[in-house]
Amino acid sequence: MQFIAQPLPATKRVALVAHDNRKQALIDWCREHRELLGRHQLLATGTTGTRIQEATGMEVQKLFSGPLGGDQQLGAKICQGEIDLLVFFWDPFEPMPHDPDVKALLRIAAVWNIPVACNSSSADMIVRSTLMEESFEREVPDYQAYQRAR
Ligand SMILES: O=C(CO)COP(=O)(O)O
């Protein structure tokens, strides 16, 4: 695979997702970082987005609920370069009926090299980084080269 540099913008499009047992933790995290998150664009799977919007008053673009395809919608947006940070508090204690979708979302986030936080300490470290509010370059697969080679 060849790679090319592609910048993540200073104003981030932040995807927020939490499984049911982790929703309160994500809501608490969003409350704690409300001021910073308010300077970015937020989107979320359906139930997570509704709960965060109710709890914080922040505007959140809501996709489908995870088990009905929301994880896949987020994955598609990552491929299209429409998400700059994934904060996904997935549940390490319960099996999910849509586990293949969860795995696919995490895989595609790795493919397109976006920052991913799966718990509050990693999310804290990411949002406290100076890069959170700066543009920075990261490497992504070179799709044109990939196509030419096939
Ligand atoms: O299931 C989810 C992620 O895998 C989250 O979906 P909801 O935000 O709709 O609960």
Q: What is the pLDDT of residues 91-120, one digit of tens each?
A: 999 999 999 999 999 999 999 999 999 999
What are 57-66's pLDDT values in tens digits?
999 999 999 9
Inside any domain, residue 111: yes
> What ipTM was estimated for this complex?
0.99
Residues 144, 41, 97: CA angle, nearest 5 degrees: 75
Residue 52: which CATH number? 3.40.50.1380
Distance 126 CA to ligand 1 centre (A): 22
Q: What is the pTM of this model?
A: 0.97
Counting the structural domains of the chain, the total is 1
CA of 135 to the centre of ligand 1 (A): 29
The question of whether 71 is a catalytic residue gets the answer yes
In a domain? residue 148 = no
Neighbouring residues of 99: CB distance < 8 A, sequence distance ≥ 6? none
Among 20, 71, 84, 101, the one annotated catalytic: 71
Ligand 1 pocket test, candidate residues 26, 30, 48, 102, most atoms within 8 A of CB: 48
Task: Provide the residue range defining the domain that includes 22.
Answer: 12-122
Whether 142 is covered by a domain: the verdict is no
